[in-house]
Structure 1
Amino acid sequence: MRKIKSILTSQWLQHLTFWVLSFYAIGSYFSISNELKIIDFIYAAFFHIPLVALTYINLRYHVPKFLLKERYVAYLLLSFFNISFAYFLHQVVFEVLIPILPTDFYMVSFTDMSVLMTIFGIYWLLTTLLKLSKSWYQLQQLEKEKLSLELNSLKMQINPHFLFNSLNSMYSLARKKSDKAPDAILRLSNLMRYMIYEVSEDVPLSKEVDSINDYLDLHRLRVNEDATIDFQKEGDMDEQMIAPLLFFPLIENSFKHGLKGEKGENYVKISLGNYANHLAFHIVNNKGEADSTEEGDYGGIGLENVKKRLNLIYGKKSKMEIIETAERFEVSIKITWS
């Protein structure tokens, strides 16, 4: 199936199909009888000499060098000269080349200038539109590939310190023969499986919620007992699909930069609501004195990652708001479904 798709999307096949249809159309248009004869295809072949020149000058040079670079005036001027050149080449073919060829067929260009210029203009416009549509399609594919690469990059951004601390916590639980150890190992296993294997495409919101719960429970193993880690959900989480790992960089930032205040003042609070026409996500954490390795813009790469993914996936249907004070940092995200 992949091989067939590759053949159907190959450039040479697309061009061959275009010119076969063009030969048939030109041959039919200029045919002097009700059925196509050899002379009609020979005439179409000579007629296509200026058409091929016009088309590939436009496709290979004018469109990529001028139109796609938004040099519109230059493109229009060059297109005018291109069409004029095609007309001149047509005259050379039929008035100079064909008369000196040893052939039993007698062919002349019985098309007046207005009809010829109209035909050349149609081919110029048609090939330009086809090139633009192909460029647009390629741009969309590049955006999808870029999104896929960003998602794969995000999957590899699991904080190694988080893994290290989680494994240390599990080791401590195992040494104490705590009943929590098996559950902690299972949660880490579930989280790793989800991040590595189950996020190649959109996932049910309920799966994202389950993974956030696993992530939070693992953090609860290593933070002080007086710290507040709260996750509130509202609405139906089963039917709605969402881009995976969308909120994880924000949650990771909250644990990385937050929970550094005085005893009893540490918190990470998350709320997620799925409503009739939109989804609302909100996260807030307290702030404390930053470590020397954490100086700089708060959130950094994580925030930029979320912004880019929101823009690529949801565009104008998404909105992200950041509020930062000396005591807290919070982020709100709204995604409109319809």
Structure 2
Amino acid sequence: MNNLQRACLHALLWALILILFVYISSRGGNLASSVVIFFYFGLINIAVFYINYLYILPSYLNSRRYLGCAVSILLLIASSAVVKYAVASFFREIVLVRGPNRDYYVSFWEYVVIALITGAFFVFISTALKFAGDWFQNEKVRKNLENEKLTAELAFLKSQINPHFLFNSLNNIYSLAYQRSEKTPAAILKLSEIMRYMLQDSNEPTVPLEREMRYLQNYIELQKLRFKDGAFVNFSYSGVNEDMQIIPLILIAFVENCFKHGIVTEEASPLDIKLQVQASKMTFEVRNKKNLQNKDVLGGIGLSNVKRRLELAYAGRYELTIENGRLIYYCKLILHL
């Protein structure tokens, strides 16, 4: 809403309020008295409201001149009382006459006290509205800054994944090439497919869950090429449809950790990777046999990275369970998509 629209809305609201009060008070038949009391004096009160709201508070509070602000408000209230009494004197027989026989005139000080209270009320309303508006505006700015910070941090965390993964994969391919393995061309092809996904598709805030699953499948196939005697991996997913979205590269760290620190060459103890989706609840489970010769089971930046990304993107909407047993490493991630 721009300034012109906001001004028109304020004018319309005040006009409706004044018309409503004039209509209600004139039902007894004294329209002239109602117009004077609610229209003329209403305009003065509205002026008090906006002088404080648009000029005094922004001018003095923003520069932290609190004493000047207080003095200006008091002068505004006093001035409005004097102006009201001047208008009341002009309509003396309508405004200042009191009593059942209309034979009593309100004194100057008696009227001014009432006018001061009324002026102070409108100053209070405008001040409360100003502080409330500033608070909501500051909250909006704070949330925008917080979102920008989170977005920047997520981008930084995701940027760590690409070189981390590339470094490990190139090491694997180098080993194959050094051994003159026939698997080297297939490994390079798989890596190119994976890098295409990481460099293009993963730039979006979220990606289809189905595409993330294909990425994991390619990664697993690439890792299998490392092992001369084969790797035993059970990978399955169900309940995934094209409408489901997830932040990219959030699951790879769990799988990478299994290949890096686990044993996948024993048919009796395969690496189990399973994903199930029911309604909007996704359950991702990974279980593998530990390599007891590897002391740094949780090493590297992978898992610490993904934990931070989960907290930033799914705060309050995820559950992460890690069981680091003596022989078995088990991880379970529940996401509410």
- Structure-to-structure mapping, 1:180-329, within 5 angstroms: 180-199=183-202, 200-223=204-227, 225-259=229-263, 267-285=270-288, 286-290=290-294, 294=296, 298=298, 301-329=301-329
Q: CA RMSD in A?
A: 4.6
Deviation at 1:282, TM superposition (A): 0.7
Contact map agreement 2:53 2:130 (CA 8 A) in 1: no
Deviation at 1:235, TM superposition (A): 1.8
One-letter code of the match for 2:302? G
Q: 1:161 aligns with which of 154, 163, 167?
A: 167
Question: Percent identity, aligned pairs only?
Answer: 25
Cα pair distance change 1:245/1:127, threshold 3 Å = farther
One-letter code of the match for 2:253? P
Indicate whether 1:150 and 2:174 are aligned: no
What secondary structure does 2:316 align onto?
Answer: helix
Deviation at 1:114, TM superposition (A): 3.7
Deviation at 1:320, TM superposition (A): 1.3
Deviation at 1:95, TM superposition (A): 7.8
Question: Could you list the per-position Cα deviations for residues 207-229 of structure 1 after superposition, in whole angstroms to 9, with x for gaps in the alignment?
Answer: 00011111111111224535423
Question: Paired residue for 1:129?
Answer: 132
Contact map agreement 1:272 1:280 (CA 8 A) in 2: yes
- TM-score scaled to structure 2, two decimals? 0.66
Contact map agreement 2:49 2:125 (CA 8 A) in 1: no
One-letter code of the match for 1:168? Y
Q: Structure 2: how far apart are the matches of 1:310 and 1:242?
A: 11
Q: 1:90 aligns with which of 68, 76, 79?
A: 76
- Structure-to-structure mapping, 1:12-161, within 5 angstroms: 48-52=50-54, 55-56=57-58, 60=62, 87-91=73-77, 112-153=115-156, 154-158=158-162, 159=164, 160-161=166-167
Cα pair distance change 1:194/1:57, threshold 3 Å = farther
Q: Which consecutive residues of structure 1, in runs of 5 or more, have no partner in the other structure?
A: 1-7, 63-77, 98-108
Q: Which has the larger radius of gyration?
A: 2
What secondary structure does 1:316 align onto?
Answer: coil
Equivalent pairs counted in the alignment come to 289
Q: Structure 2: how far apart are the matches of 1:226 and 1:144?
A: 45
Q: Structure 1: how far apart are the matches of 2:81 and 2:117?
A: 18
Cα pair distance change 1:224/1:134, threshold 3 Å = farther
Q: Structure 2: how far apart are the matches of 1:19 and 1:316?
A: 41
- TM-score scaled to structure 1, two decimals? 0.65
Contact map agreement 1:170 1:185 (CA 8 A) in 2: no
Contact map agreement 2:319 2:334 (CA 8 A) in 1: yes
Deviation at 1:203, TM superposition (A): 1.1
Q: Structure 1: how far apart are the matches of 2:75 and 2:5?
A: 24
Contact map agreement 2:232 2:265 (CA 8 A) in 1: no
Q: Which consecutive residues of structure 2, in runs of 5 or more, have no partner in the other structure?
A: 20-34, 84-111
Deviation at 1:257, TM superposition (A): 2.6
